[in-house]
């Protein structure tokens, strides 16, 4: 019984302390947690390795030398329908830079989230804004300087099927009719009802980006027909964007965290 008494006593103390500290702050801060996001670039069932040869679903051979993309405006929808948006949400992912393939989203209100939404690319406001830093700095190899705006996705490599042996896809553009900003909501893994954000556990969300899906979807793209996008927004960029919006990203699994 001693234990119970003590515990009740300490509870009261704790509560007092909590109340006191709450008084220090005019606004009561809701409890928040962190989500780690990990990006894994794959080609079908295999992990993507730069310099290695793969096959598209249509049977073309491709060797990737560069694969970069920008994910932005990440939003999480709770089971009660409220939406939380990550502030200043811009993430540049480069296959060649391991550190860029994982990032933490902080200060998410605790709760159960049933939907993840994000943009592949950069909103038009930032495409026309002044000089940016971080993921949007113009010296990150993802910016067009003469037609200013961001390259949303860059895939470069070689293919024996390409007319000149090269594959150079630089997809971007935010103006009608060649707007390639795409917003996606990949489903939670089968059997996972929600993503729990809490103070004590940091779950890890494992996203896969499947290079094969760039060549398939609404339009099947053969490398013999499309070796390069012109270095500006055009109809081919829109085809690629429609494809990657349809299936590039999937949530492979979620670790509930420690």
Partner 1 sequence: MQGLRIAPLLAAALAGLFVAACRPDADVQPPEAVPGSVLPANFPAPVYGPEQNPPDRATFELGRSLFYDPVLSRDGTVSCGSCHQQAVAFAHEGRALSPGVQGRLGTRNSPALQNLRWRRTLLWDGGVANLEVLPLAPITNPLEMDETLPHVLDKLNASPEYRRRFQQIYGSTPINSQQLLRALAQFTAGFTSADSRYDHYVRGEAGGTLDAAELRGLTVFRAQCASCHATDLFTDETYRNNGLDRRFPLDSGRAGITNRPGERGLFKVPSLRNVALTAPYMHDGRFQTLAQVLDHYDHGVVESSTLDAQLRRPDGTLGIPLTAQQRADLQAFLHTLTDPALLSNPQLAPPK
Residues that bind partner 1 (CB under 8 A): 127-133, 137-139, 143, 145-149, 175, 177-178, 232-234
| Beta carbon nearer to partner 1, 51 or 130 | 130
Distance CA(95)–CA(55), nearest Å, equals 18
Omega cis (within 30) before 249: no
Least CB distance to partner 1 at residue 132 (A): 7
Question: For the chain, how long is the longest CA-to-CA vector?
Answer: 83
CA-wise closest residue to 231 among 162, 109, 148 = 148
CB of 180 to partner 1, least distance (A): 12
Q: How far apart are the C-alpha atoms of 87 and 75, rounded to whole Å?
A: 10
The distance of closest approach from Cβ of residue 142 to partner 1 in the complex, given in angstroms and rounded to an integer, is 12
| Residue whose CB is less far from partner 1, 128 or 192 | 128
Query: Which residues is 185 bridged to in the sheet?
Result: none
At residue 108, φ and ψ (nearest 5 deg) are: -85, 130
User: Could you tell me if 111 and 79 are in contact, meaning their C-beta atoms sit under 8 angstroms apart?
Assistant: yes
- Residue 57 or 129: which CB sits closer to partner 1? 129
| Residue 93: strand pairing partners | 69
Return the number of the residue (106 or 175) whose C-beta is nearest partner 1.
175
User: Can you tell me the distance from the alpha carbon of 133 to that of 123, in angstroms, rounded to the nearest whole number?
Assistant: 15
Instruction: Using the minimum distance from each CB to partner 1, give the nearer residue, 157 or 233.
Output: 233
Task: Yes or no: say if 30 and 119 are a contact pair by the CB < 8 Å rule.
Answer: no
């Amino acid at each position: 019984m001693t234990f119970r008494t003590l515990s009740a006593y300490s509870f009261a103390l704790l509560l007092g302390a909590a109340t006191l500290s709450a008084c220090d702050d005019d606004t009561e801060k809701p409890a928040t947690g962190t989500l780690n996001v990990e990006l894994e670039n794959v080609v079908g069932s295999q992990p993507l390795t730069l310099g290695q040869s793969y096959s598209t679903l249509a049977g073309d051979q491709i060797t990737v030398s560069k694969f970069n993309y920008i994910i932005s405006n990440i939003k999480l929808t709770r089971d009660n329908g409220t939406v939380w948006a990550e502030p200043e949400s811009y993430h540049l992912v480069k296959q060649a830079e391991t550190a860029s393939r994982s990032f933490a989203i902080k200060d998410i209100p605790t709760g159960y989230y049933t939907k993840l939404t994000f943009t592949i690319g950069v909103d038009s406001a930032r495409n026309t804004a002044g000089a940016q830093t971080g993921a949007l700095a113009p010296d990150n190899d993802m910016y067009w300087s003469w037609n200013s705006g961001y390259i949303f996705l860059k895939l470069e490599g070689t293919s024996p099927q390409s007319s000149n042996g090269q594959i150079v896809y630089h997809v971007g553009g935010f103006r009608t009719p060649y707007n390639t900003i795409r917003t996606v909501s990949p489903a939670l893994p089968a059997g996972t009802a929600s993503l729990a954000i809490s103070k004590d556990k940091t779950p890890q969300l494992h996203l896969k980006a499947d290079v094969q899906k760039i060549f398939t979807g609404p339009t099947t793209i053969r490398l013999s027909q499309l070796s390069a996008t012109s270095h500006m927004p055009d109809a081919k960029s829109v085809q690629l964007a429609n494809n990657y919006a349809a299936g590039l990203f999937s949530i492979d699994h979620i670790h509930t965290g420690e």
